[in-house]
């Protein structure tokens, strides 16, 4: 029964994605950007499903299981930081996408000032492929862990299954297929997490009894971890602000930014935000609740693998049919992110690295297949922790792109040398922060992003940044809006 309901849900996702082929326009602009005509509600729901990946079902649940109530700061910081980033850059991002016609996030940054920075384009593409490939691998690993926990299958089996389904509907419809399936997947994700939270609370005798059981676990309901980098209020505040930068890091994620680039009208951005942040907050709150309660139901996982908490709880608490739905929810989350990651990597390769003569639809699809194989290889051979792999990729890409997009969106125009310096020093600081173990106290994206902004400030003070060019942006964007449906233009 579990397998039947699970396979039925997967079949439904596949049908939805494949059906997008009927709306395909047969161009690379349609394949990578859905021709820039996506309704704001679809943008919001798709961004929600893509951001809340298998990492949420597997990684965040495991992190909350281990960290207790202190993990709430991850949720609060992530959502608030994400919103602040959106208010700062999304509108300018869409306007610039209209002006340039670029199909990749890195390519858009390389052309933001009106003249192409070729080194920025190449460096951005290489880093996107490497770290989004690792991020995609984490999604495949999350699917593998879910199948291993419920069916006892080899962990690599689930990874192969996710990769196969993603390839099939991505090849059929590109970003449009991804967005259409995100709509179905978002519904299943919310249903799965909500049902499991309700069953967990009900199984302990209600909300009051559940809170009593949670408080009985030593340290589990502390608002902050005991091993803060700086003791006291200052350390607690720094810990919370660090996770705010994790949310701000969303503006440095190509697979998320491409959805806002695909929005049909920048004037309807607020509509997309309502859908995105409402669903995001509801889902994250439910995931945190499940992670906290998992410690009550499964104390033995503390010495095993906490990232198996959600599927193990589902088996313990739910009927077989519903377990299949929960498993489908995990796979929905992994696929909704994995397909976006794969497409962003493919766009970076075909539009930022390869010669212009190779930008055909069939070559784009061949690259998509190759990128998926690359991610699958990392999934099989790489680290086993989904949380570690996602946070590493997320923070590194944030350090590469977030400072640059903030600077551009707020009117700065760094020279190519200054932009490249920002893109190299920022992730280097973030990686060193993690290497020395400081990420256990403060999210490594915070020093990474701040380093990039500091490098720009110093460079601008030394005269490296030309004057603001924003005055012409809105007029140029409006003039080019009707042409945005065509293939990518040069800067």
State the pLDDT at residue 233: 52
Residue partners of 249: CB distance under 8 A and separation at least 6? 81, 85, 394, 395, 397, 398, 402, 445, 449
**Tens of pLDDT, residue by residue, the chain (491 residues):** 778 888 888 888 888 888 887 888 888 999 999 999 999 999 999 999 888 766 666 767 888 888 888 888 878 888 999 999 999 999 999 999 998 889 999 999 999 977 889 999 999 999 999 998 888 888 788 777 777 777 777 778 878 888 888 888 788 888 998 898 888 888 888 988 899 999 999 999 999 999 999 999 888 888 776 655 555 555 666 767 877 898 999 999 999 999 999 999 999 999 999 999 999 999 999 989 999 998 989 888 766 677 778 788 888 888 888 888 888 877 777 777 888 889 999 999 998 998 775 678 888 989 999 999 988 888 887 655 666 777 788 899 999 999 999 999 999 999 999 999 999 999 999 999 988 988 877 889 999 999 999 999 999 888 744 444 444 444 444 444 444 444 444 46
CATH code: domain of residue 19: 1.20.1730.10
State the pLDDT at residue 282: 94
CA dihedral 38→39→41→44, nearest 10 degrees, is: 30
> Does 441 fall in a domain?
no
pTM attached to this predicted model = 0.84
Say how far apart CA 119 and CA 110 lie, in whole Å.
8
> Does 129 fall in a domain?
yes
| 269-273 LR contacts (CB < 8 Å, sep 24+) | 269/40, 269/90, 269/91, 269/94, 271/40, 271/41, 271/44, 272/40, 272/41, 272/43, 272/44, 272/47, 273/44, 273/83, 273/86, 273/90
> Does 288 fall in a domain?
yes
Say how far apart CA 424 and CA 431 lie, in whole Å.
11
Say how far apart CA 134 and CA 5 lie, in whole Å.
30
State the pLDDT at residue 299: 87
409-438 burial: b if 16+ Cβ within 10 Å, else e: beebbbbbebbbbbbbbbbebbbebbeeee
* Total number of domains constituting the chain: 1
> Does 405 fall in a domain?
no
> Does 402 fall in a domain?
no
> Does 434 fall in a domain?
no
> Does 453 fall in a domain?
no
**36 is in which domain, residue-wise?**
2-387
> Does 439 fall in a domain?
no
């Amino acid at each position: 029964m579990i397998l039947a309901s699970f396979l039925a849900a997967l079949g439904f996702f596949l049908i939805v994605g494949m059906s997008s082929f009927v709306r395909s326009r047969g161009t690379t602009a349609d394949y990578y950007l859905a021709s820039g005509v996506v309704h704001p509600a679809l943008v919001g729901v798709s961004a929600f499903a893509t951001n809340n990946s298998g990492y949420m079902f597997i990684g965040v649940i495991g992190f909350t299981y281990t960290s207790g109530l202190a993990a709430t700061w991850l949720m609060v910081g992530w959502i608030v930081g994400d919103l602040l980033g959106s208010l700062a850059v999304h509108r300018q991002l869409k306007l610039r996408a209209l002006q340039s016609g670029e199909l990749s996030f890195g390519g858009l940054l390389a052309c933001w000032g009106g003249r192409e920075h070729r080194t920025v384009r190449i460096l951005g593409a290489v880093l996107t492929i490497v770290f989004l490939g690792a991020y995609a691998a984490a999604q495949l690993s999350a699917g593998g862990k879910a199948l291993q926990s419920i069916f006892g299958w080899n962990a690599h089996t689930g990874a192969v299954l996710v990769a196969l389904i993603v390839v099939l509907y991505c090849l059929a419809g590109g970003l449009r297929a991804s967005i259409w399936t995100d709509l179905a997947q978002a519904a299943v994700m919310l249903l799965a997490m909500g049902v499991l939270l309700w069953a967990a609370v009900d199984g302990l005798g209600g909300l009051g009894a559940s809170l009593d059981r949670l408080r009985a676990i030593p340290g589990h309901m502390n608002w902050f971890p005991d091993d803060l980098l700086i003791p006291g209020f200052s350390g607690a505040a720094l810990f919370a602000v660090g996770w705010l930068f994790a949310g701000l890091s969303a503006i440095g994620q190509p697979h998320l930014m491409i959805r806002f680039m695909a929005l049909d009208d920048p004037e309807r951005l607020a509509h997309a935000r309502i859908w995105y942040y409402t669903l995001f907050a509801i889902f994250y709150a439910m995931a945190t609740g499940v992670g906290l309660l998992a410690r009550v139901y499964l104390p033995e996982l503390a010495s095993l693998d906490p990232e198996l908490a959600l599927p193990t709880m589902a088996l313990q608490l739910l009927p077989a049919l519903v377990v299949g739905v929960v498993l489908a929810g995990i796979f929905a989350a992994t696929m909704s992110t994995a397909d976006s990651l794969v497409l962003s990597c493919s766009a970076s390769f075909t539009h930022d690295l390869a010669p212009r003569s190779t930008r055909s639809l069939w070559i784009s699809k061949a690259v998509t297949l190759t990128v998926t194989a690359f991610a699958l290889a990392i999934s099989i051979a790489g680290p086993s922790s989904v949380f570690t792999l996602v946070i590493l990729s997320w923070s590194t890409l944030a350090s590469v792109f977030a400072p640059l997009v903030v600077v551009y969106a707020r009117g700065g125009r760094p020279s190519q040398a200054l932009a490249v310096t920002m893109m190299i020093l920022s992730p280097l600081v973030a990686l060193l922060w993690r290497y020395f173990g400081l990420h256990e106290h403060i999210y490594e994206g915070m020093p990474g992003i701040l380093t990039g902004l500091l490098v720009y400030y110093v460079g601008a003070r030394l005269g490296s940044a030309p004057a603001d060019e924003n005055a012409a942006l809105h007029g140029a964007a409006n003039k080019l809006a009707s042409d945005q449906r065509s293939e990518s233009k040069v800067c």
